[in-house]
Amino acid sequence: MRNPRMKGPKISMELTINKARLSLVQGDITGQATDAIVNAANSGLMGGGGVDGAIHRAGGPAILEECRRIREKTGRLPAGKAVITTGGKLKAKYVIHTVGPVWQGGTGGEAELLASAYKESLKLAADNGLRSVSFPAISTGAYGYPVESAARVALQTTIDFLGQNQSLREVAFVLFDSYTYRVYTDVLRELMPNMESTR
Protein backbone atom coordinates (compact mmCIF):
# COMPACT_ATOMS: atom_id res chain seq x y z
CA MET A 1 0.00 0.00 0.00
CA ARG A 2 1.27 3.46 -0.86
CA ASN A 3 2.47 5.56 2.05
CA PRO A 4 -0.16 8.29 2.50
CA ARG A 5 2.55 10.78 3.44
CA MET A 6 4.11 10.39 0.00
CA LYS A 7 1.80 12.74 -1.88
CA GLY A 8 4.21 12.97 -4.81
CA PRO A 9 7.89 13.26 -5.63
CA LYS A 10 9.78 15.46 -3.20
CA ILE A 11 13.24 16.66 -4.20
CA SER A 12 15.35 17.12 -1.11
CA MET A 13 18.68 17.82 -2.72
CA GLU A 14 20.09 18.54 -6.10
CA LEU A 15 23.39 19.60 -7.56
CA THR A 16 24.77 20.30 -10.99
CA ILE A 17 27.64 18.25 -12.34
CA ASN A 18 28.98 19.15 -15.79
CA LYS A 19 25.63 20.72 -16.79
CA ALA A 20 23.63 17.72 -15.55
CA ARG A 21 21.27 17.82 -12.58
CA LEU A 22 21.65 15.08 -9.98
CA SER A 23 18.70 14.89 -7.60
CA LEU A 24 17.29 12.76 -4.82
CA VAL A 25 13.55 12.14 -4.82
CA GLN A 26 11.29 10.28 -2.43
CA GLY A 27 8.55 8.63 -4.41
CA ASP A 28 7.50 5.84 -6.75
CA ILE A 29 9.85 5.28 -9.70
CA THR A 30 7.03 3.95 -11.89
CA GLY A 31 5.55 7.48 -12.05
CA GLN A 32 8.73 9.22 -13.21
CA ALA A 33 8.61 11.06 -16.53
CA THR A 34 12.35 10.89 -17.28
CA ASP A 35 13.32 9.45 -20.68
CA ALA A 36 14.13 6.15 -18.97
CA ILE A 37 13.67 4.55 -15.59
CA VAL A 38 16.02 1.84 -14.39
CA ASN A 39 14.66 -1.50 -13.27
CA ALA A 40 16.45 -3.50 -10.56
CA ALA A 41 15.86 -6.69 -12.52
CA ASN A 42 16.74 -10.31 -11.89
CA SER A 43 18.96 -12.13 -14.34
CA GLY A 44 16.01 -13.99 -15.87
CA LEU A 45 14.40 -10.69 -17.04
CA MET A 46 10.96 -12.18 -16.45
CA GLY A 47 9.73 -9.81 -13.76
CA GLY A 48 9.65 -10.44 -10.03
CA GLY A 49 8.97 -8.66 -6.77
CA GLY A 50 9.81 -5.20 -5.48
CA VAL A 51 10.74 -2.55 -8.04
CA ASP A 52 10.93 -5.16 -10.81
CA GLY A 53 7.35 -6.33 -10.31
CA ALA A 54 6.02 -2.79 -9.88
CA ILE A 55 7.58 -1.66 -13.18
CA HIS A 56 6.20 -4.65 -15.08
CA ARG A 57 2.74 -4.16 -13.60
CA ALA A 58 2.66 -0.45 -14.38
CA GLY A 59 4.25 -0.75 -17.83
CA GLY A 60 2.15 -3.65 -19.08
CA PRO A 61 2.99 -6.70 -21.21
CA ALA A 62 5.08 -4.89 -23.86
CA ILE A 63 8.02 -4.70 -21.46
CA LEU A 64 7.93 -8.41 -20.66
CA GLU A 65 7.63 -9.25 -24.36
CA GLU A 66 10.81 -7.32 -25.19
CA CYS A 67 12.58 -8.86 -22.19
CA ARG A 68 11.59 -12.30 -23.44
CA ARG A 69 13.07 -11.56 -26.88
CA ILE A 70 16.31 -10.30 -25.33
CA ARG A 71 16.58 -13.40 -23.16
CA GLU A 72 15.98 -15.71 -26.12
CA LYS A 73 18.75 -13.96 -28.01
CA THR A 74 21.38 -13.48 -25.30
CA GLY A 75 20.41 -15.70 -22.38
CA ARG A 76 20.33 -14.58 -18.76
CA LEU A 77 21.60 -11.10 -17.92
CA PRO A 78 24.67 -11.24 -15.64
CA ALA A 79 25.02 -9.00 -12.60
CA GLY A 80 26.52 -5.64 -13.51
CA LYS A 81 25.12 -5.60 -17.07
CA ALA A 82 22.16 -3.70 -18.54
CA VAL A 83 19.70 -3.86 -21.44
CA ILE A 84 17.01 -1.45 -22.67
CA THR A 85 13.36 -1.99 -23.61
CA THR A 86 10.26 0.04 -24.25
CA GLY A 87 8.56 1.69 -21.30
CA GLY A 88 5.17 0.35 -22.39
CA LYS A 89 2.43 2.27 -20.57
CA LEU A 90 4.87 4.10 -18.28
CA LYS A 91 5.47 7.85 -18.53
CA ALA A 92 9.11 6.99 -19.25
CA LYS A 93 9.68 5.99 -22.87
CA TYR A 94 12.24 3.34 -21.96
CA VAL A 95 13.16 0.95 -19.17
CA ILE A 96 16.80 0.08 -18.60
CA HIS A 97 17.01 -3.30 -16.87
CA THR A 98 20.11 -3.98 -14.80
CA VAL A 99 21.01 -6.74 -12.39
CA GLY A 100 22.63 -5.78 -9.11
CA PRO A 101 24.67 -8.16 -6.97
CA VAL A 102 23.35 -10.24 -4.10
CA TRP A 103 25.09 -9.14 -0.89
CA GLN A 104 27.53 -11.79 0.37
CA GLY A 105 29.18 -9.82 3.12
CA GLY A 106 31.25 -7.63 0.81
CA THR A 107 33.77 -10.29 -0.18
CA GLY A 108 32.28 -11.37 -3.50
CA GLY A 109 33.07 -8.29 -5.60
CA GLU A 110 29.69 -6.76 -4.79
CA ALA A 111 30.88 -3.14 -4.91
CA GLU A 112 32.43 -3.61 -8.36
CA LEU A 113 29.31 -5.33 -9.69
CA LEU A 114 27.02 -2.65 -8.26
CA ALA A 115 29.17 0.13 -9.72
CA SER A 116 29.05 -1.67 -13.08
CA ALA A 117 25.23 -1.88 -12.93
CA TYR A 118 25.03 1.91 -12.58
CA LYS A 119 27.78 2.63 -15.09
CA GLU A 120 26.34 0.28 -17.74
CA SER A 121 22.87 1.78 -17.26
CA LEU A 122 24.18 5.35 -17.60
CA LYS A 123 26.22 4.39 -20.66
CA LEU A 124 23.20 2.70 -22.26
CA ALA A 125 21.13 5.84 -21.68
CA ALA A 126 23.83 8.05 -23.20
CA ASP A 127 24.41 5.69 -26.15
CA ASN A 128 20.68 5.80 -26.95
CA GLY A 129 20.60 9.61 -26.94
CA LEU A 130 18.55 9.87 -23.76
CA ARG A 131 18.74 13.02 -21.67
CA SER A 132 17.26 11.92 -18.35
CA VAL A 133 17.16 8.75 -16.28
CA SER A 134 15.78 7.69 -12.89
CA PHE A 135 17.31 5.01 -10.66
CA PRO A 136 15.97 3.02 -7.72
CA ALA A 137 18.26 1.87 -4.89
CA ILE A 138 19.57 -1.19 -6.74
CA SER A 139 20.25 -4.35 -4.70
CA THR A 140 19.06 -2.88 -1.38
CA GLY A 141 15.82 -4.86 -1.23
CA ALA A 142 15.69 -8.65 -1.49
CA TYR A 143 19.37 -8.78 -2.51
CA GLY A 144 20.32 -7.47 0.92
CA TYR A 145 22.94 -4.85 0.06
CA PRO A 146 23.39 -2.47 3.04
CA VAL A 147 21.77 0.84 2.11
CA GLU A 148 24.61 3.15 3.14
CA SER A 149 27.24 1.13 1.27
CA ALA A 150 24.98 0.87 -1.77
CA ALA A 151 24.29 4.63 -1.71
CA ARG A 152 28.00 5.39 -1.63
CA VAL A 153 28.68 3.19 -4.67
CA ALA A 154 25.63 4.45 -6.58
CA LEU A 155 26.24 8.14 -6.01
CA GLN A 156 30.01 8.09 -6.50
CA THR A 157 29.68 6.09 -9.74
CA THR A 158 27.06 8.53 -11.03
CA ILE A 159 29.06 11.61 -10.02
CA ASP A 160 32.13 10.20 -11.79
CA PHE A 161 30.14 9.36 -14.93
CA LEU A 162 28.51 12.79 -15.16
CA GLY A 163 31.89 14.41 -14.69
CA GLN A 164 33.12 12.73 -17.87
CA ASN A 165 29.96 12.63 -20.01
CA GLN A 166 28.02 15.63 -21.26
CA SER A 167 25.07 13.94 -22.97
CA LEU A 168 22.88 13.30 -19.92
CA ARG A 169 21.10 16.30 -18.43
CA GLU A 170 19.28 14.76 -15.46
CA VAL A 171 19.83 11.76 -13.19
CA ALA A 172 17.36 11.20 -10.34
CA PHE A 173 17.51 8.67 -7.55
CA VAL A 174 13.92 7.79 -6.70
CA LEU A 175 13.84 6.28 -3.23
CA PHE A 176 10.60 4.72 -2.09
CA ASP A 177 10.92 4.76 1.70
CA SER A 178 11.99 7.53 4.04
CA TYR A 179 14.90 5.57 5.53
CA THR A 180 16.61 4.96 2.17
CA TYR A 181 15.89 8.54 1.14
CA ARG A 182 17.51 9.87 4.31
CA VAL A 183 20.60 7.65 3.96
CA TYR A 184 21.14 8.70 0.33
CA THR A 185 20.77 12.34 1.36
CA ASP A 186 23.39 11.96 4.08
CA VAL A 187 25.82 10.18 1.76
CA LEU A 188 25.38 12.73 -1.01
CA ARG A 189 25.98 15.56 1.46
CA GLU A 190 29.17 13.82 2.56
CA LEU A 191 30.38 13.26 -1.01
CA MET A 192 29.49 16.76 -2.20
CA PRO A 193 29.59 19.03 0.88
CA ASN A 194 29.13 22.24 -1.14
CA MET A 195 26.03 21.13 -3.00
CA GLU A 196 22.83 23.12 -3.14
CA SER A 197 20.05 21.91 -0.87
CA THR A 198 16.45 22.56 -1.92
CA ARG A 199 14.84 21.06 1.15
Q: Catalytic residues, which ones?
A: 52
DSSP 197: B
Answer for the pair 117, 145: CB distance below 8 angstroms, yes or no: no
Answer for the pair 158, 118: CB distance below 8 angstroms, yes or no: yes
CA–CA dist 192, 83 (Å, integer): 30
Residue type present at position 114: L
CA–CA dist 29, 127 (Å, integer): 22
The 10 Å Cβ neighbour count of residue 113 is: 20
